[in-house]
Amino acid sequence: MKFDVNQIRKDFPVLAQKTRSGKNIVYFDNAATSQKPIKVIDATSDFYRNFNANIHRSAHELSERATMAYEEARNRVGKFFGAPENFCTIFTRGATESLNLVAQSWGSANIKRGDEILLSEMEHHANIVPWQMLAERAQAKILAAKIREDGSLDMDDLLSKVSGKTKIISITHASNVLGSINDINAISKIARSAGAAFSIDAAQSAPHLLDDISKVDCDFLSISAHKCYGPTGIGALIAKREILDSMPPYQGGGDMIENVSWQKTTFRPSPERFEAGTPNIAGAVGFAAAIDYLNSIDLHGAKEHEHKLLERMTAALDAIPKIKIFGKSKEKVSLASFFVDGVHPNDISVLLNASGIAIRTGHHCAEPLMCLLGVMGTCRASMAFYNTEEEVDFFAEKLEHAIKILA
Ligand SMILES: Cc1ncc(COP(=O)(O)O)c(C=O)c1O
């Protein structure tokens, strides 16, 4: 069915809620987490209501059903994000855990003293801190490719930082602050020609359904379900099986072992090797339901709609005096970070909240980027395909009003 935002909105119950003071909710905090369609809510409760059991361990029927649903979810997630045959989907708690898994497990086996890890100046803490922890242990060095004035990644600088010492390039596909979409195909080629591994943080690009995620040649792809209309506490690391099987386990416990004895423990191959303990089964089922939901809508229309929202939002912000937008690259996901001269971002957020508008303020887990931009924080309005042009206009009107009061 052709994309129709009014129909789509009916799938998301939170959007029909009112604030405590009776205002309609304008939810522009999608980069923090997205709302969930009924399909996802129902799938999660259906699991607990009808076939809750632990997986992989028992011969009884409920366990068999739960195991099938969990493994089927793994297939659906992998397929949706284009995992080829030789890739494996590991369920994690989210993009943060996926990136930690790569840094700790792959990193501890492959990063040695003097090696270099190449990131970028626009990374979220989730793609900085795990590498810093590793670099400190291994006595390796972290380099960060620069960003340009418009918020796009400076590919010349990235290239100039690649050398024989570069062991991995780990870059976000889309910035959670600037919105910039990075050319992961070009970065992949750079990584390949340097013989470096390539890891993509797709936490912010996956929700915007960017095609190249599923086509790019990478080693590790980190995804968070809750930003893609799925439940919280679940995500995926999609990675090359051969590389995964050469990596040491990240956590030890049940389900990830072949045999345990006091003398020696042996481990199962991927994905189980990296899924110690009882996983988030309901989360996986909900994640698969989110994928089914996305597969059931007009994705092309959804993307076009988001693009229109971004254009409208950018034009509206540009028309308001004293606003500086951070991130104006040509390729951008539908979010706008901005700073209002002389006004604390939190004050703006508080006034907007009084009108039912939810935005995010602060450093957005990107303190090094804030430092580079010369601000302690920004306001961020981040949109999803269920937002409307009327909401953008309402937001702009209330923002202008707030600035008049505060500035
Ligand atoms: C670019 C980026 N990477 C990683 C993460 C971490 O995702 P999660 O909190 O779902 O683990 C976020 C969350 O905001 C993000 O924006």
- Residue range 220-253, pLDDT digits in tens: 999 999 999 999 999 999 999 999 999 999 899 9
Q: Do the domains 41-295 and 5-30+298-406 match in fold?
A: no
Q: Is 94 in the pocket of ligand 1 (CB under 6 A)?
A: yes
pLDDT in tens, 323-372: 999 999 999 999 999 999 999 999 999 999 999 999 999 999 999 999 99
Instruction: Output the six-digit token pair for 264.
Output: 């020696």
Question: What are phi and psi for residue 176, nearest 5 degrees?
Answer: -75, -10
Q: Is 203 in the pocket of ligand 1 (CB under 6 A)?
A: yes
Kindly give the number of the ligand 1 atom that is closest to the alpha carbon of 235: 10
Provide the residue type at 204 as one letter: Q
SS3 42: helix
Least confident interval from 38-42, 123-127, 253-257, 359-363: 253-257
CA of 95 to the centre of ligand 1 (A): 6
pLDDT at 255 over 90: no
Q: Are strands 265-267 and 357-358 parallel, antiparallel or unpaired?
A: unpaired
CA of 203 to the centre of ligand 1 (A): 5
pLDDT in tens, 177-218: 999 999 999 999 999 999 999 999 999 999 997 877 778 999
| Angle at the Cα of 140 from the Cα atoms of 182 and 152, rounded to 5 degrees | 15
CA of 57 to the centre of ligand 1 (A): 32
In our burial notation (b when 16+ CB lie closer than 10 A, e otherwise), range 266-292 reads: ebbebbbbbbbeebbbbbbbbbbbbbb
CA of 51 to the centre of ligand 1 (A): 31
pLDDT at residue 45 in the model: 98
Instruction: Give the pLDDT band (50/70/90) at residue 58.
Output: confident
Q: Is 363 in the pocket of ligand 1 (CB under 6 A)?
A: no
Give the residue, by CA position, lying nearest to ligand 1 atom 15.
203
Q: Is 201 in the pocket of ligand 1 (CB under 6 A)?
A: yes
Kindly give the number of the ligand 1 atom that is closest to the alpha carbon of 176: 16
Q: Are strands 378-382 and 335-340 parallel, antiparallel or unpaired?
A: antiparallel
Provide the residue type at 47 as one letter: F
Give the residue, by CA position, lying nearest to ligand 1 atom 12.
203
pLDDT at residue 94 in the model: 98
Average pLDDT value for residue range 270-294: 97
> What positions carry a catalytic annotation?
365
Average pLDDT value for residue range 251-265: 93
Q: Is 231 in the pocket of ligand 1 (CB under 6 A)?
A: no
Give the span between the Cα atoms of 113 and 101, in whole angstroms: 20
Question: What are phi and psi for residue 19, nearest 5 degrees?
Answer: -75, 175
Instruction: Output the six-digit token pair for 177.
Output: 């602050």
- For the whole prediction, is pTM greater than 0.75? yes
* CATH architecture of the domain formed by 41-295: 3-Layer(aba) Sandwich (3.40)
Kindly give the number of the ligand 1 atom that is closest to the alpha carbon of 97: 11
Pocket test for ligand 1, best of 201, 208, 213, 337 (most atoms within 8 A of CB): 201
Instruction: Give the pLDDT band (50/70/90) at residue 407.
Output: confident
Q: Is 44 in the pocket of ligand 1 (CB under 6 A)?
A: no
Domain map (residue ranges) of the chain? 5-30+298-406, 41-295
Q: In this structure, are residues 266 and 259 in contact, taking their beta carbons and an 8 Å threshold?
A: yes
Kindly give the number of the ligand 1 atom that is closest to the alpha carbon of 95: 11
pLDDT at residue 100 in the model: 98
pLDDT at 320 over 80: yes
Q: Is 176 in the pocket of ligand 1 (CB under 6 A)?
A: yes
Q: Is 378 in the pocket of ligand 1 (CB under 6 A)?
A: no
Q: Are strands 257-260 and 265-267 parallel, antiparallel or unpaired?
A: antiparallel
Q: In this structure, are residues 407 and 342 in contact, taking their beta carbons and an 8 Å threshold?
A: yes
Domain 5-30+298-406 is in which class?
alpha beta
Q: What percent of the chain has pLDDT over 90?
A: 96
At which residue do the structure tokens 């284009």 appear?
82
pLDDT at residue 89 in the model: 97
On average, the pLDDT of the chain sits at 96
Average pLDDT value for residue range 92-101: 98
CA of 99 to the centre of ligand 1 (A): 10
pLDDT at residue 211 in the model: 77
Kindly give the number of the ligand 1 atom that is closest to the alpha carbon of 98: 11
Q: Is 204 in the pocket of ligand 1 (CB under 6 A)?
A: yes
Instruction: Give the pLDDT band (50/70/90) at residue 122.
Output: very high
pLDDT in tens, 146-173: 999 999 999 999 999 999 999 999 999 9
